[in-house]
Structure 1
Amino acid sequence: MNKNIHFQELGLRDYKETWEYQEKLFREILDQKVKNRREAAEEPTKNHLLFVEHPHVYTLGKSGDISHLLINEEQLKQKHATFYKINRGGDITYHGPGQVVGYPILDLENFFSDIHKYLRLLEETIILTLAEYGVKAGRSDGETGVWLDSGTPFARKICAMGVRASRWVTMHGFAFNVNSDLGYFDHIVPCGIQDKAVTSLNVELGVKEVPMEEVKEKIKRHFSRLFEAQLI
């Protein structure tokens, strides 16, 4: 079981380019697993964690409803935003500058064979990070992601999640609103959930901007501890 995770900071990068890169890493791990089984070999499979910020983009998961995108193609251009239908679970979401997007591409058989546990640990990573800023966050019954004031009329989402898994290999991941322009969420029904707000860390703290590198370091520390892994 290889618990080393190759970490890469990709900076600001186009969504489609990053998606294709994820697919490449995902396929390499799957191919290694197939080869190991075919040849009765034990060559360790790799694990990856990518951090990235995307230019403004909306993505729709496999089970998503296109009607949850509330603007047309011309309006997308005016907002300097793009749109993609993609192969993760979940509905529609937004990515943009000021958001920490994390893509763990893991062979879960190196850790545990439980996709629900995987999602809960991703959520816990963000919950623990928020706690360091004095922000109490949690989960919402039946709704993946990280929420504030869940179960109240003031419930608001601060981190969206959507993953794909095949043969226990994961891709896609989480989008944590740190200094996001929340106005972009007005043009979708976020994650297909009606009548619930979206927030960001800087809004909750009442500051103009939270240092992104500081947030990323906290996420990495909690992620590696929860997964009992070493980021390299």
Structure 2
Amino acid sequence: MLLKSFNVEKVNYEDLGRIAYQEAWDLQESLLRVNVGMKLAAGNKAKPSSVSTKNYLLFCEHNPVFTLGKSGKADHLLIQEDRLKAQGIEFFKINRGGDITFHGPGQITGYPILDLEKFKPDIHWYLRTMEDVMIRLLADYGLKGGRIDGATGVWVDVDSPRPRKICAMGVRCSRWVTMHGFAFNVNTDLQYFDMIVPCGISDKGVTSLAKELGHEVSMDEVKAKLVGHFADLFEMSIPARPVI
């Protein structure tokens, strides 16, 4: 058994509830700018522990929206933008990695704003650890989650002819400060994914916790489990009622 270090980093957790995508994006950008500004002011020779950056774990649900990452292809949106507007669905080209995905009600979208120099300055480690959080969450519900080489995120039935993605991930990192994050389908209406090529992958399916279990699941319960797994795997100290 691996022993944990004594360097447990404080992270402010906030459930933003239902929030417009642009508002959440603006909040992330503002928190990242403050942290990056502190690091620039301190200089490259400053020890990470001496810089007063703050870490955040933000959860929310969005109104229906498609987001296209920097490496995504516009033709992976399978519906005209004017038809999206008519259906009340927003569309954003954004500054994270990855391709196109959907956010909406019944999905937990998570935005960790973390100074990785206070954890581990390694994007590969960061993504794999975040995947481990989701795999542990699925195990809580008796489901086996897994990875597929070259396809960041978490899947179920990875050894079957048609695995199904349950959690998408895409991040941005500036001076080792992260933003964007993950989208975990809990009670998500999966019909929205028919309008896109999810994450640019056309030969695999998309699923939700509710679909796999055959019933709706408490969002609050899932959020609480997620917070616990983040705290454990990232060695975070998460106050009960933080304030941004």
Say whether the fold is shared (TM-score over 0.5). yes
Counterpart in 2 of 1:214? Answer: 221
Matches of 1:73 and 1:40 in 2, distance apart? 47
**Matching residue of 1:36:** 42
Determine helix, strand or coil for the equivalent of 2:54: coil
Give matches, 1:1-232, under 5 Å: 3-37=9-43, 42-207=50-215, 209-232=216-239
Q: Deviations over 1:26-58 (max 9, x none)?
A: 111100111111795823211011001000000
How far apart in 1 are the matches of 2:82 and 2:91? 12
Amino acid at match of 1:21: L
Corresponding residue pairs, total: 231
How far off is 1:2 after superposition?
Answer: 7.2
- Partners of 2:166 and 2:51 lie apart in 1 by 39
Instruction: Give the superposition deviation at 1:19.
Output: 0.2
TM-score (ref. length: structure 1): 0.96
1:135 counterpart SS class: coil
Segments of 5+ residues of structure 2 without an aligned counterpart are: 1-6, 240-244
Identity within the alignment, %: 58
Q: Note the aligned Cα RMSD (angstroms).
A: 1.4
Tell me, what secondary structure is at the counterpart of 2:183? strand
Kept in 1, the 8 Å contact 2:8–2:235? The answer is no
Deviant stretches of 4+, over 4 Å: 38-41
Inter-partner Cα distance in structure 2 for 1:159 and 1:129: 11
CA distance in 2: counterparts of 1:167 and 1:152, whole angstroms: 39
Once residues 124 and 39 of structure 1 are traced to their aligned partners in structure 2, the CA distance between those partners, rounded to angstroms, is 32
User: SS at the partner of 2:43?
Assistant: helix
- Structure 1 position 78, deviation (Å): 3.1
Tell me by how many angstroms 1:151 deviates: 4.0
1:142-180 residue CA offsets vs partner (Å, 9 max, x unmatched): 100000111431201000000001111100000000000
Q: Which runs of 5+ in 1 are unaligned?
A: none
* Secondary structure, aligned partner of 1:154: coil
Distance in 1, matches of 2:45 and 2:141, equals 49
Q: Deviations over 1:66-116 (max 9, x none)?
A: 000000122202321000000000000000000001000000000111110
Say if 1:206 and 1:40 are closer, same or farther in 2 by CA, change over 3 A: closer
Give the counterpart letter for 2:119 in structure 1.
F
Cα distance in 2 for residues equivalent to 1:2 and 1:29: 19
Taking a change above 3 Å as real, the CA distance of residues 173 and 38 of structure 1, as seen in their structure-2 partners, is: closer
